[in-house]
Amino acid sequence: MISYERFKNAVRTDLKKYLPEEYAAHKLVEKKLYKINRCVDTFRLQPPGPAADHGPMATLNYQDMYRSIVGGAKLETVLQSIARLLQFRMPPGVEADSLLLQESKPDKESIHLALINHKRNRQLLKNVPHQDFLDLAAIAVLEQGPGSGYLCVVTNDILKDLDMDQEELLKTACDNTFHAYPAILEESQLGLNAWCEGSTFGAVCLLDKQLLRDAAEQLDSDLYVLPDSLHLLFLVAVKSVPRAIILDTFRQATLLEPDALDYLSDNVYYYDRRQDSLKILRDHSKLPS
């Protein structure tokens, strides 16, 4: 099996062998795209002349295409598939709607909140308005509604189109999120599961102090907060499990999927109900008596 880098070089040098003659003058344009928890190596064909003279072009990424190689596909077969995909054009009506969507100003009601890991997304965050929170970052995303998935992360460029500053953006995102996506507590074998119902980023409920207060009262204990993913939190009564066991068990679990796309954190958080405070739990953190 060829390596990922050799595969990218093969696309650069051999792709045009599988394209019609009309694509001879097209240029292969590559760009790194930073998304939540991942960096994507994208590529597309760009026709000669000003970009404004042609509509949206198909954009692919090397990682997705390389999965076929890993799965056993022949290089020639994958290159042929890439060539077909890059020639795809949307029907005229759909293409016009796509261009209109790109040019339209985002609806403020579509702005919602997400929590992501700061360290894993440090490159993305360079161009994204955010507020640090523990080892995480609160960001704004555009969502069409409950269960719809998110359209995109709000970048500094989108923020300019919204005529907002960062503080107003994140406050709007917070207000919209907790109005549209109610925080849920559900009993589980560990204690309680917590998430924001309908949100792509359900673990944003970590920012809801009232949810933590309610959970602590329900379990009659301070809380260990275990971030299962971007979507879900596990809340465990401190009185039910020794700290060493909870830390070791959680660390072992996160090691199983270190590159998960829905990764949030490999830290356990501690909610002190008397102080109404949340912090990262360390091996030797002083805990309330």
Q: Residue 210 sits in which domain range? A: 183-280
Same-domain check for residues 128 and 162: yes
Any domain includes 159? yes
Q: What is the DSSP letter of 41?
A: E
Same-domain check for residues 81 and 164: no
Same-domain check for residues 67 and 130: no
Same-domain check for residues 22 and 79: yes
Considering only CA atoms, which of 129, 137, 138 is closest in space to residue 162? 129
Token pair 């339209």 in the structure block, residue? 104
Any domain includes 287? no
pLDDT, residue 95, reads: 42
pLDDT, residue 285, reads: 61
Same-domain check for residues 9 and 97: yes
Chain centroid, CA 138 distance in Å: 12
Among 156, 180, 204, the domain-final residue is 180
pLDDT, residue 76, reads: 95
Same-domain check for residues 175 and 194: no
Tokens for 234? 């596990």
Same-domain check for residues 191 and 270: yes
pLDDT, residue 154, reads: 92
Any domain includes 285? no
- How many domains are contained in the chain? 3
Same-domain check for residues 9 and 99: yes
Among 180, 214, 233, the domain-final residue is 180
Any domain includes 80? yes
Same-domain check for residues 78 and 33: yes
Helices 75-86 & 4-14, crossing angle to 10 degrees?
60
pLDDT, residue 56, reads: 62
Same-domain check for residues 148 and 196: no
Among 71, 103, 135, the domain-final residue is 103
pLDDT, residue 253, reads: 72
Any domain includes 139? yes
Strand partners, 126: none
Any domain includes 237? yes
pLDDT, residue 105, reads: 67
Any domain includes 196? yes
DSSP E strands in 49-149: the ranges are: 59-61, 111-117, 130-133, 136-143
Any domain includes 288? no
Same-domain check for residues 112 and 149: yes
Same-domain check for residues 42 and 29: yes
pLDDT digit of tens for each residue in the chain (289 aa)?
Answer: 899 999 999 999 999 999 999 999 999 999 988 889 988 899 999 888 765 445 567 889 999 999 999 999 999 999 999 999 988 764 555 444 444 444 556 778 889 999 999 999 999 999 999 999 999 999 999 887 666 667 789 999 889 888 899 999 999 999 999 999 999 999 998 899 999 999 989 999 999 999 999 999 999 999 999 999 999 999 999 998 888 888 888 877 776 566 688 999 999 999 999 999 999 998 666 666 5
